Amino acid sequence: MKILVASDKYKGSLTALDVCNTIKRAILYIDPSADVVAVPMADGGEGTVDTLVNSLGGKFVDIKVAGPVGEMVMARFGIVRNDTAVIEMSSASGLVLVPPGKRNPMETTTYGTGQLIAKALDMGCKKIIVGIGGSATNDGGMGMAQALGYRFLGRDGSELGRGGKQLAKLIKINNDSVHPALSSAVFDVACDVENPLTGIQGASYVYALQKGATPGMVRELDRGLANLARVVKKDLGKDIENLKGSGAAGGLGGGLVAFAGAKLRPGAEIVIEAVGLKEKMKGSGLVITGEGAMDIQTFYGKSACAVARLASVYGIPVITINGSVLTGRKETGRSNGELFSGNFSIINKPMNMEEAIRDAGEMLENQVMELMNFYLKIKNKK
């Protein structure tokens, strides 16, 4: 029997590779004859670079870039299949890189993310996958574009600096010195939100407060992004203001569309395509997926749900094995609930978080053995 194991990480405890390998090992302990295919998964957020590099046998590239407040930081991206770069913007421009007392989206910049993209292009990458979660910025991707050679000019023709406060001053965008490989590269952006660039549901009003903005800053940043959208439409011929997802990562979603010709796509969909999960799934009798904490958000773009939707096309039963299960079948609704034949947690007794993290590997292995022993006995009776 062929079993496909395609699980995400248990955040803070086990990587996606750890989870998949543990499940595979436990299955083979119960049934050494099983054909187990392990494919670590991700949803475009934290851990996507590690997952794809480990799944596809790629390599990591470490490089010093400008951090969100201008200081140099060590960032990392991956290269898979020789010509595809996988970048997490949080590695260069993430909120975790800024101490709480220094968080100010008027000042923070995506310049370092642009430097990662430029390095990937310099290395000959023809496709760039960018995960844009966890940003510290609200500059509409202007900093990223500056690192790629775009020039942003103010009223007197002088070049603008970095940060969200510069957006309101923008009069003209000059693209005469853009990186020569940018136009021929294909960009896929992992974007699981639908916020437009501006307005009450836009980047500034929804996300800027958590990045250190005051209410006054929020209004100014929103006006700046609206100005950016106007100049982008005038000078580059692209309309990004009301585009779904353009408000992601402080407008970086829209910026990547405007300055790199990117497509905004669900993160799990991008990963499924990158690892070739469709072909690897064919012929499977069972699919096992999961994540650290399964809750109602699982059904809105997380990898476990995406894996299950793909499996449903082939009529393959799916179970999830998770760190914890925080939702029931009644809560998920009839259509969503039927994606999974069963959802299971590895937690088997009262314990605190420290214990759960420490013993996750052992508990996962034991749970898989019990489930597989039951599954095979039922299957063999048919």
CATH of the domain at 376: 3.40.50.10350
**Are 207 and 330 contained in the same domain?**
no
What's the confidence (pLDDT) of residue 329? Answer: 83
Pairing of strands 293-294, 324-325: parallel
**Are 23 and 164 contained in the same domain?**
no
**Are 202 and 84 contained in the same domain?**
yes
Q: How far apart, in whole angstroms, are the C-alpha atoms of residue 315 and residue 297?
A: 24
Low-confidence ranges of the chain (pLDDT < 70): 333-335, 337
**Are 311 and 229 contained in the same domain?**
no
**Are 223 and 159 contained in the same domain?**
yes
**Are 105 and 226 contained in the same domain?**
yes
What's the confidence (pLDDT) of residue 142? Answer: 98
- 10 Å CB burial of residue 302 (0-12, 13-18, 19+) is buried
- The parent domain of residue 262 ranges over 48-267
Q: Locate all alpha helices (DSSP H) within the chain, ordered by sequence.
A: 16-30, 48-56, 90-93, 111-122, 142-147, 203-207, 215-236, 248-260, 267-274, 277-281, 303-313, 329-337, 353-358, 360-381
Q: Are the beta carbons of 371 and 319 closer than 8 angstroms?
A: yes
Q: Which amino acid is at 4?
A: L
Q: How many domains does the chain have?
A: 2
**Are 225 and 201 contained in the same domain?**
yes
Q: How far apart, in whole angstroms, are the C-alpha atoms of residue 27 and residue 369?
A: 6
What's the confidence (pLDDT) of residue 335? Answer: 61
**Are 133 and 259 contained in the same domain?**
yes
